[in-house]
Amino acid sequence: MSQRDSLQNTFFVAFVLCLVCSLVVSTAAVVLRPIKERNERIAFQREVLSVAGLYEKGKTKGSEIPELFKQIKAAMIDLGTGEVTDTVEDFEDFNLKDVTKKPELTVEIPAGKDLAGIKRREKLTKIYIVTKADGSIDQLILPVRGKGLWSTMWGLLSLDGDGKTVRGLTFYEDGETPGLGGEINNSKWKAKWSNPDCPKVLFDKQGKVDIAFYKGVVTCELPGSQHKFDGLAGATITTRGVENMFKFWLGDEGYGPLLKKIKEGQFPVTELSSISN
């Protein structure tokens, strides 16, 4: 056996190949990271615009998204108090999923109050606002999430300026069963949440969360239809997960303090013009 075919030489060649491949992959990852982050940012902006009714699939071009998004205002909210805070230095690059993985940036939810099944929730979060010409709130877009059958469902809920009427709902990430729980992203099902002829209201007259999922199709003629939502056929656990998600995020452990400030006119929406997106 020649020295070139020796075991030692074989290992050396394999080592060099592994080293070269590792360098190529690492370099590609570093070079492509800014592009990946930009695409992820634009994808999320599209979801915000979509739930606000400002993005039309098939009509709005991807290149138009950053410019359209400039009409969306944003604010960092302390979920415990509902107050606007400017203590986050990396406001522009705030990533909710990354935040939820850091114990120092989250708080544990008491077991009896963890309706959404997420165990911990962030101390601060970023919300999005669409304003009217007079500067008042037209839409309030809130990040929400909750446990479904197989996964955590990450979504965005758009509320009217009154803080209680639904304007839109979308889920931008989930692992639910296609054709069953995965129907949370069915365009026909989502359209029921933003039908101005049959508006959905999430609170009763006393200000308590009042929602229920109905087995079948909810029509406007159905008594209490403003508080009832179409359940997902064959996806009881996912449907219950969506219901519990709303009950959690609209309650005191979620956006309750913020919604209270909005109802009382104490949310400084006119000051948000100085906060970048």
Question: What pLDDT does 2 receive?
Answer: 53
Q: Phi and psi (nearest 5°) for 109? A: -95, 125
Question: What pLDDT does 276 receive?
Answer: 46
**Residue appearing with tokens 């656990």:** 237
Structure tokens that stand for 57 in this block: 């699939």
Structure tokens that stand for 60 in this block: 């709005």
Give the SS3 label for residue 219. Answer: coil
Q: How far is CA 209 from CA 98, 144, 165, 217, in A?
A: 29, 15, 12, 21
Does the model's pTM come out above 0.75?
A: yes
Of 168, 194, 171, 182, give the one whose Cα is nearest residue 233.
Answer: 182
Is 235:176 a contact under the CB 8 Å cutoff?
yes
Does the pLDDT of residue 41 top 90, yes or no? no
Question: What pLDDT does 275 receive?
Answer: 45
Q: Where are the alpha helices (DSSP H) in 52-172?
A: 65-68, 96-99
pLDDT tens digits for range 42-70: 889 999 999 999 988 888 888 889 899 98
Structure tokens that stand for 196 in this block: 């101005």
Does the pLDDT of residue 3 top 80, yes or no? no
| Calpha distance 33→39 (Å, rounded) | 10
Of 98, 137, 114, 155, give the one whose Cα is nearest residue 251.
Answer: 114
Q: What percent of the chain has pLDDT over 70?
A: 91
Does the pLDDT of residue 273 top 60, yes or no? no
Report the Cα–Cα distance between both ends of the chain, in Å, rounded. 67
Contacts of 97-102 spanning 24+ positions with Cβ under 8 A: 97/154, 99/124, 99/125
Is 209:261 a contact under the CB 8 Å cutoff?
no
Averaged confidence pLDDT in the chain: 86
